């Protein structure tokens, strides 16, 4: 009865919000395959850390003419670009960047503290109230039912691991959770910020929740979702690291037979074929691991 109750609860909440989510979907008129984009923003991040700011700015500025900008996990190229554009007085793309930060990622630009956000507000065509309203529209359009379902599943995942080290008991909970995870990803794709939120200190969910839950899928469950999530990586929705971690836990940690090359996301597990790992990483837009 508990399994059925949880399933009906999730289905009711997801269905109740599906029409609104479909209505708020944003099409991308520019390139759809973000694999080359990821590799370029990794180059830009490296230039930025090396203080090669002009080269970094030029690379990102050119890239944003080819792709709708996104904010890659662990890169944050939109913030880097905004900082460097302000320094150079290059403001032609900044309102578009602010719009993406708010509408796609839930940045509360109106009220963030710090020099970058203050300067963005000063140059923006929008007032404080207009910026705040954009953020409130973002919050209103979240699929709260799906978000809360993911949080509930994550709590069950973590609770059993705090209660026991018994692998059979842990696995039994994981197998109960798995059909719901597979269901909502097959229905919605990867639940990104625009769908469930999760970008901010006061959020009740974070990308780490999905990362953990995907790593706890069975091998058949992971293989069922792999093509869907790979497509989401290419669309710029699913973080590369989260997709790779889902596969690597089976390949490297659990030592299971898989058709996938180890992608090197576990520091304690070194690749046996370093060249093959880097070739596989490049195919999903991850930078090569220096050896």
218-262 residue pLDDT tens:
999 999 999 999 999 999 999 999 999 999 999 999 999 999 999
Residue 145 and residue 17: Cα distance in Å, rounded?
7
Confidence (pTM): 0.88
Give alpha helix (H) positions in the chain. Answer: 2-23, 35-49, 53-66, 77-88, 94-103, 115-123, 128-140, 144-163, 167-188, 193-196, 207-215, 219-234, 240-248, 274-283
- What percentage of the chain carries pLDDT values higher than 90? 86
- What percentage of the chain carries pLDDT values higher than 70? 89
Same domain (yes/no): 148, 136: no
pLDDT, tens digit, for every residue of 77-92? Answer: 999 999 999 999 999 9
pLDDT, tens digit, for every residue of 51-73? Answer: 999 999 999 999 999 999 999 99
Position 12 confidence tier, pLDDT thresholds 50, 70, 90: very low
Give the residue from 54, 102, 101, 107 showing the smallest Cα distance to 77. Answer: 101
Same domain (yes/no): 152, 257: yes
The range of the structural domain enclosing residue 192 comes to: 144-283
Same domain (yes/no): 107, 210: no
Query: Total structural domains in the chain?
Result: 2
Question: Averaged over 184-208, what is the pLDDT?
Answer: 92
Same domain (yes/no): 245, 177: yes
Averaged pLDDT score across all residues of the chain: 90
Same domain (yes/no): 230, 278: yes
Q: Look-up: residue for tokens 């979702």?
A: 225
Does the residue 30 lie in any domain? no
Same domain (yes/no): 178, 272: yes
Same domain (yes/no): 148, 263: yes
Same domain (yes/no): 148, 279: yes
């Amino acid at each position: 009865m508990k399994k059925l109750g949880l399933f009906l609860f999730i289905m009711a909440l997801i269905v109740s919000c599906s029409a609104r989510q479909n209505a708020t979907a944003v099409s991308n008129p520019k390139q759809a395959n973000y694999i080359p984009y990821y590799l370029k923003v990794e180059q830009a991040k490296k230039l930025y850390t090396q203080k090669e700011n002009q080269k970094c700015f030029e690379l990102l500025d050119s890239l944003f003419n080819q792709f709708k900008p996104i904010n890659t996990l662990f890169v944050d190229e939109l913030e880097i670009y905004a900082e460097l554009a302000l320094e150079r007085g290059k403001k032609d793309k900044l309102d578009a960047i602010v719009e993406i930060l708010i509408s796609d990622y839930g940045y509360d630009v109106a009220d963030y503290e710090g020099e970058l956000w203050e300067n963005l507000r000063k140059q923006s065509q929008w007032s404080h109230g207009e910026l705040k309203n954009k953020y409130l529209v973002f919050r209103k359009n979240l699929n709260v039912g799906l978000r809360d379902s993911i949080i509930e599943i994550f709590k069950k995942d973590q609770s059993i691991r705090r209660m026991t080290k018994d692998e059979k008991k842990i696995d039994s909970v994981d197998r109960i959770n798995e059909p719901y995870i597979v269901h909502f990803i097959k229905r919605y794709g990867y639940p990104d910020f625009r769908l469930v939120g999760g970008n901010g200190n006061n959020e009740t969910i974070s990308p780490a929740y999905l990362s953990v839950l995907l790593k706890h899928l069975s091998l058949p469950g992971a293989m069922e979702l792999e093509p869907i999530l790979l497509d989401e990586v290419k669309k710029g929705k699913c973080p590369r690291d989260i997709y790779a971690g889902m596969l690597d836990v089976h390949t490297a940690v659990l030592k299971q037979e898989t058709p996938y090359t180890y992608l090197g996301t576990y520091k304690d597990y070194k690749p046996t074929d370093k060249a093959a790992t880097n070739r596989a990483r490049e195919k999903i837009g991850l930078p090569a691991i220096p050896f």
